[in-house]
Chain A
């Protein structure tokens, strides 16, 4: 029908002239790449420096359709560039490397790469890269439309999974948006209104995002539909489409968080249904271990990418604390301390007080679709535990690595744990802090690190509870899990004291990462913000993990919020107060994040390292408002 025809016509022309930015420090490879791309009739711009590439991209976001970048570059790590591009510009990025290790490829995926090519390059491989541009456009479009028409909470969650669905959807609208492809150079957002005149992009500021998160929480993740959210937010000039696309990102973010938290290895599950992920989580008992999102900004541990508590906490909290099942909107996920006594968190359900350490990145969390996460949590009974105060042994911080990456979310499903099972890893007081967050690294890098950073070693997380392996098998899982957490975190984050402040940006930025659900989350910046959010009063979000505490690599300290505290219920408040980290305290010993987290950790670590390397908490731009960075239309 017309749609098909339109599509094919567009396709016929579209790949030709597609604007590609190629980045590789090796001149031989760059020359080869350029020539190959030109042979495919693309419009090529090359640079041998990542910094230059970023500059070019920032100058004019509409200038390019696709970015291809080498992984090993002297001035900036390719993954870092990948994250930044994804966050700031939301362009599809393809990674290139001579090294095809599974780990690296996975890293690329978790950081948001839409493809990973091996050197030496062949023309056949490049001939189809335009598909990534089209896919992204459609996906975004679908997001918009779906949100509007279907109002399905989880529609976008899968991201990848939805692509097909999106396509169909998109096709319907395709004829309406004939020029969408052209306009789609940028993230889909730009084309949000193909039908109407081009609207100015909406910048999701911290305030705006906070309102958004509040609204989502109020409605409940299941029922959070753009229309209602819009009504609740009551912001002028904000359209349903804006909210819809933001919601989508948020959901993804939460999903990632939850995945991280649960450490489930089920990537698949997470992808498709956040719910399932959570269900698993719920079972975990208390899943709640939701990532101790300790937002310690020093995520240096990278492992801590676990989603800043704020995010996670938010999610967990919703149900009032804990029972998370229904994670009702309260963003505060307060995970009761899970008693990790012997890692038997299982019963605990205690979510281990999910301390969402003041993730600085309040923003992120806010963004996070808490409801989304919550839903999942709800499903997971496990979440319910949240209320319970685990005898706190372990405050396992449940690092919720919010894998913002859509795909990544799948991780969540795996481990029924989010917690964890029981003991959950997560919470195992492990100092590890929620290495889950590591998984969060999916979050595009930073989110995973959720703030914890206390320096902790996110690696600790890996030690997370017994299930760790499962959990982290796929970082993604965690990510998914992380997502939920992020939701609340958003809320929490907001309130979180600003302690996390910038210096900690690194840590918090993890949270930020969360926010950017669409991997566009400026992890760096966001995280910081998240950290901030955690308000003391927000039990959930472990309020910023005391920056001070973060100082020392052990991030866990803050987290260990006093597991013993006993006041699990109070965790929220107490937790927060104490260390400021709501995060479920990872017990120093606790290791709770399953091995899987390890991978996240690596990711997170890498991210953190990168961050550190940069010397500034947030990559310049991100530094602070994760949301501002992201502009949504």
Chain B
């Protein structure tokens, strides 16, 4: 029971992620898929996401260094990035990528660059928050199963 405060803290943290718009209901989908058979599903997916999307981020960086911009390519990368971001429920990141794509479509290089900077910021922020969240969850984890038998 002494873990309860931890669980509570976890719940609060989680709620704030939603409230502040970092996550959307897709994240809930992930949580729902987590079960005994798949106890760390959410963390797994998020880890995979960060690992894979790092590659995309790098591609975009590199593409933005080549002038003139190849908007099609940029759009392509961002499309994919948007797909995976939305799959984990990364709301702000997804919004930035949508904006980025708009700029690509209209050929606005400046807009692209600005948005990309913002996107990277959000991306990094979310990562930190989720890492903290998972860490806490791991500590509070075992308690949960004990307290809430499935």
Interface residues in chain A, defined as those with a beta carbon under 8 Å from any beta carbon in chain B: 25-29, 31-32, 35-36, 39, 70, 72, 97-99, 119-123
Do A123 and B48 have beta carbons less than 8 Å apart?
no
Q: Which of B46-70 contact A (CB under 8 A)?
A: 48-49, 52-53
A120: chain B residues at CB < 8 Å are: 26, 29, 83, 86-89
Contacts A35-B41, A72-B76, A98-B79; A28 near B84 (Cβ below 8 A): yes
Segment with Cβ contacts to A, from B5-13, B30-38, B116-124, B133-141: B30-38
Q: Residue on A with the closest CB to B28?
A: A122
B26: chain A residues at CB < 8 Å are: 120, 122
A29 CA to B38 CA in the complex, in Å?
17
Closest beta carbon of chain A to B71's beta carbon, Å = 16
Do A119 and B87 have beta carbons less than 8 Å apart?
yes
Do A26 and B33 have beta carbons less than 8 Å apart?
no
A25: chain B residues at CB < 8 Å are: 80
B83: chain A residues at CB < 8 Å are: 26, 29, 70, 72, 97-98, 119-120
Does B45 make an interface contact (CB < 8 A)? yes
Does B19 make an interface contact (CB < 8 A)? no
User: Interface SS of chain A: helix, strand, loop or mixed?
Assistant: mixed
A122 CA to B87 CA in the complex, in Å?
9
Task: From the candidates B30, B79, B80, name the one contacting A32 in the complex (CB within 8 A).
Answer: B30
Contacts A32-B45, A35-B33, A36-B33; A26 near B38 (Cβ below 8 A): no
A29: chain B residues at CB < 8 Å are: 83-84, 87
9 A–B pairs (Cβ distance < 8 Å), ordered by A: A28-B53, A32-B88, A39-B33, A72-B80, A97-B83, A119-B83, A120-B29, A120-B89, A123-B29
Closest beta carbon of chain B to A92's beta carbon, Å = 22
Does B82 make an interface contact (CB < 8 A)? yes
- Which has the most chain B C-beta neighbours within 10 Å: A29, A36, A97, A122? A29
Do B38 and A28 have beta carbons less than 8 Å apart?
no
A600 CA to B49 CA in the complex, in Å?
36
Q: Residue on A with the closest CB to B56?
A: A26
Please classify how large the interface on chain B is, using the bins under 10, 10 to 19, 20 to 34, 35 or more.
20 to 34
A151 CA to B28 CA in the complex, in Å?
52
A212 CA to B88 CA in the complex, in Å?
53
A72 CA to B75 CA in the complex, in Å?
12
Does B2 make an interface contact (CB < 8 A)? no
A36: chain B residues at CB < 8 Å are: 29, 33
Contacts A31-B45, A36-B33; A26 near B84 (Cβ below 8 A): yes
A35: chain B residues at CB < 8 Å are: 33, 38, 41, 45
Do B48 and A121 have beta carbons less than 8 Å apart?
no
Q: Residue on A with the closest CB to B37?
A: A38
A497 CA to B129 CA in the complex, in Å?
68
A97 CA to B86 CA in the complex, in Å?
11
Task: From the candidates A31, A72, A119, name the one contacting B86 in the complex (CB within 8 A).
Answer: A119
Closest beta carbon of chain A to B138's beta carbon, Å = 20
| For the complex of A and B, 7 pairs with smallest distance between CB atoms | A98-B83, A28-B84, A28-B49, A120-B86, A120-B87, A120-B26, A35-B33
Q: Residue on B with the closest CB to A118?
A: B86
Do A28 and B48 have beta carbons less than 8 Å apart?
yes
B76: chain A residues at CB < 8 Å are: 72
Do A98 and B86 have beta carbons less than 8 Å apart?
yes
B80: chain A residues at CB < 8 Å are: 25-26, 72, 98
Does B110 make an interface contact (CB < 8 A)? no
A32 CA to B80 CA in the complex, in Å?
15
A36 CA to B38 CA in the complex, in Å?
12
